[in-house]
Copies of this chain bind each other. A is one copy, B any other.
């Protein structure tokens, strides 16, 4: 009765299934970012600052260009948040050793503390979801999300993310 449509029209089920997967991602992302957002608000920082701290923390010494590539924003946009992070002592720059035009980015002690604090709530949320879902589900999660990533950047990203 209830599945007349799906019984008669497998394409309908397929479309419905995909729409549900899309919504799931929307809601998951919404709640996944809620924790950090709240903490960062105390510092008057936003999601943009979070992203910078996150990626610099995971790629100490990365250059500004590399960061721009990852974030896919303009250097003017980045500069606004980056310079406040530097001014307020969460990030340091060091002139590149090989190429002195480059500014290599590092978290300060303060920056590392904030990164830890913010990342902790997010890691705890993901850990809970992983625990509840089980190891096989986690592998599936990885596979599907990897498939959503732009072909052009997938390898580079998975390269950094390759674990086991």
Contact = CB atoms under 8 A, between A and B. Distances in A.
Interface of A: 13-32, 34, 51, 54, 58, 72, 119, 122-123, 125-130, 132-134, 136-150, 153, 157, 160-161, 163
Contacts of A145: 24-25, 27-28, 129, 141
B130 A21 contact: yes
Nearest to A51: B26
Contact of A31 (B19, B20, B30, B148): B148
Contacts of A23: 54, 58, 157, 160-161
Which of A31, A58, A145, A153 has the most chain B CB within a 10 Å cutoff? A145
A5 to B, nearest CB: 12
Given A24-B161, A128-B147, A132-B147, A139 B142 contact: no
A16 B143 contact: no
Q: How many copies does the complex hold?
A: 2
Given A123-B15, A133-B140, A146 B24 contact: yes
Contact of A122 (B22, B24, B28, B132): B22
Contacts of A147: 128-130, 132-133
Contacts of A51: 26
10 contacts: A18-B127, A18-B130, A19-B58, A22-B122, A22-B123, A23-B157, A25-B32, A31-B149, A34-B150, A141-B145
Given A23-B58, A23-B161, 19 more contacts: A19-B58, A19-B123, A21-B142, A22-B54, A26-B51, A27-B145, A28-B148, A31-B149, A125-B148, A129-B144, A129-B145, A130-B144, A133-B146, A133-B147, A137-B139, A137-B140, A137-B141, A137-B144, A141-B141
